[in-house]
Amino acid sequence: MSVHTRKDGQVFVKYYITLPDGKRKEKRDYFGTGLDAEKKAHDRNDELKAAGQISDYQRQPQAAALPFFEDLTAEYLKSKANDLPKTSIQNMWYKLKSIILPELGHLAVNQITPHRLDLYVRKRLKTPVIKLMGNKNKKRVPVKNEDNTAKTISKTTVHRELSDIIAILNWSVRRKYITKNPVAGYKKPKRDDAIIRPPSSEEIKAILTHAKPHLKRALLINYYTGLRPGNAELHHLQWYDIDWQGNTILVRSALKGGPVKRSVALHPALLKFLKEWNQEDENNTHPYIIYWKGKPVNTLKTSFATAKRNARIKRRIRPYDFRHAAITQMILNGDLKAASEIAGHSSVQMTIKQYEHITSEIKRQTVEAIEEIDI
């Protein structure tokens, strides 16, 4: 009895049974291809061994070869397909395929050691940041720092990449594809990302002034509702998501641990904009609120960068920071629990964690609200 793999990748268990006439006959149980098939084959092998289906002359089970990291990655992404938004899977696959797998994918699990991750970190921290320039024939252009030196990959980016690597290995242990995580407890580099101050009202006005119509719609909705920008929530909004009688908009939430869907009240200013846009779109054959050439937008990076540049804003601001601006104002001027629900967070604790610098300001204001005693 033993586990084998054919040239086409089919995994099978070979064993023998005793026929009524006393002769031995070879049997094979097939389990398909991939890591799941290997696991099922070894489980079957153990089952046969426990049942006594083994004798002295039968071949003993071969030691299972350790899987390669790229194989574990493929199975990990398959398992997450139903748990994460399609865009999250695509982004994760792009990062793995273009960055992580070329460095680690060809290694067997036991070859991914702390020393190997040290080499990975050193190489990544020396990697220059590249941006694509041009409309048709895009060119790869190095990004410069303010002092004109080459900008390199940040420790925060490398921290995230290592988190993905370790998450895949931990998942593989839980699925029993491997017995242990060879880099468990590995110390990742400290993050170096600074908190980005939300855009001021002047910056918001300047960007909106130079924004194309589809970008303007996206940013205004983003600002007045606190929706997550991107395909997960904002980009795929449709006109039937709006309740004109109740003045609310239905949001199909990103899978971030919060509610599957939530209803967000419409700010009077946004309601006015929506009614104007709805009239503009009355002859459209598609239902999307934010669109480009009749199709829902997939990204706002290029149009946002152009509007920001034309607005002569040089500091770092992202479309996501329009969401931050909205939630920040909700927290400071409203109710923390309500702000958390509108933001689609899984709990108030998550809001506090994400906006710790804002909640500190709330505490200061709360203390200052104590009536002063005149003595």
| Structure tokens that stand for 65 in this block | 């070869």
Q: Residue type at 223?
A: Y
The whole-number pLDDT of residue 91 equals 82
How does residue 55 score in pLDDT terms, banded at 50, 70 and 90? very low
Q: Are residues 138 and 229 in the same domain?
A: no
CB 200 within 8 A of CB 317: no
Q: Which residue has the tokens 């669109």?
A: 291
The whole-number pLDDT of residue 38 equals 79
Give a yes or no: residue 281 inside a domain.
Answer: yes
Q: Which residue has the tokens 């994760």?
A: 92
CB 178 within 8 A of CB 67: yes
Q: What residues contact 240, with CB distance under 8 A and at least 6 apart?
A: 287
Q: What share of the chain is helix, strand, coil (3-state, %, to 5)?
A: 45, 15, 40
Strands 139-142 and 242-243, by their bridges, are unpaired
The answer to whether residue 325 scores a pLDDT higher than 80 is: yes
The whole-number pLDDT of residue 57 equals 39
Give a yes or no: residue 354 inside a domain.
Answer: yes
Q: Are residues 353 and 213 in the same domain?
A: yes
| Structure tokens that stand for 368 in this block | 């200052």
Q: Are residues 206 and 334 in the same domain?
A: yes
Interval 143-168 mean pLDDT:
88
The whole-number pLDDT of residue 60 equals 45
Range name among 63-67, 87-91, 107-111, 194-198 with the lowest pLDDT average? 63-67
**Alpha-helix runs per DSSP H in the chain:** 35-50, 69-80, 86-95, 101-104, 114-125, 155-174, 201-209, 213-225, 268-280, 301-310, 320-333, 336-343, 348-354, 356-368
| Domain's final residue, options 174, 193, 212 | 174
Q: Are residues 12 and 119 in the same domain?
A: no
Q: Are residues 222 and 305 in the same domain?
A: yes
Distance from C-alpha of 110 to C-alpha of 304, rounded to nearest angstrom: 44
Q: What is the CATH number of the domain that holds 211?
A: 1.10.443.10
Give a yes or no: residue 127 inside a domain.
Answer: yes
Q: Which residue has the tokens 């079957």?
A: 44
Q: Are residues 167 and 220 in the same domain?
A: no
The whole-number pLDDT of residue 277 equals 96
The answer to whether residue 56 scores a pLDDT higher than 60 is: no
Give a yes or no: residue 59 inside a domain.
Answer: no
The whole-number pLDDT of residue 5 equals 82
Distance from C-alpha of 163 to C-alpha of 197, rounded to nearest angstrom: 26
CB 12 within 8 A of CB 4: yes
Q: Are residues 77 and 141 in the same domain?
A: yes
Q: Are residues 74 and 165 in the same domain?
A: yes
CB 242 within 8 A of CB 331: no
| Alpha-carbon radius of gyration of the chain | 28
Give a yes or no: residue 319 inside a domain.
Answer: yes
Average confidence score pLDDT of the chain: 84
How many structural domains are present in the chain? 3
Give a yes or no: residue 375 inside a domain.
Answer: no
Give a yes or no: residue 332 inside a domain.
Answer: yes
How does residue 359 score in pLDDT terms, banded at 50, 70 and 90? low
> Which of 203, 155, 202 lies closest to 313 in space, CA to CA?
203
Q: Are residues 153 and 287 in the same domain?
A: no
The more confident residue out of 114 and 18 is 114
Distance from C-alpha of 67 to C-alpha of 70, rounded to nearest angstrom: 8
What confidence tens digit (pLDDT) does each residue in 270-314 have?
A: 999 999 999 999 999 899 999 998 888 888 888 999 999 999 998
The whole-number pLDDT of residue 348 equals 80
How does residue 52 score in pLDDT terms, banded at 50, 70 and 90? low
Interval 53-82 mean pLDDT:
72
What confidence tens digit (pLDDT) does each residue in 228-258 have?
A: 888 778 888 999 999 999 999 998 866 555 5
Q: Are residues 105 and 216 in the same domain?
A: no
| Structure tokens that stand for 354 in this block | 């994400």
Q: Are residues 228 and 105 in the same domain?
A: no
Q: Are residues 155 and 250 in the same domain?
A: no
Give a yes or no: residue 189 inside a domain.
Answer: no
| Domain of residue 19, residue span | 2-50
By CB atoms closer than 10 A (0-12, 13-18, 19+), residue 235 is: buried
The whole-number pLDDT of residue 188 equals 92
Q: Which residue has the tokens 């609200």?
A: 369
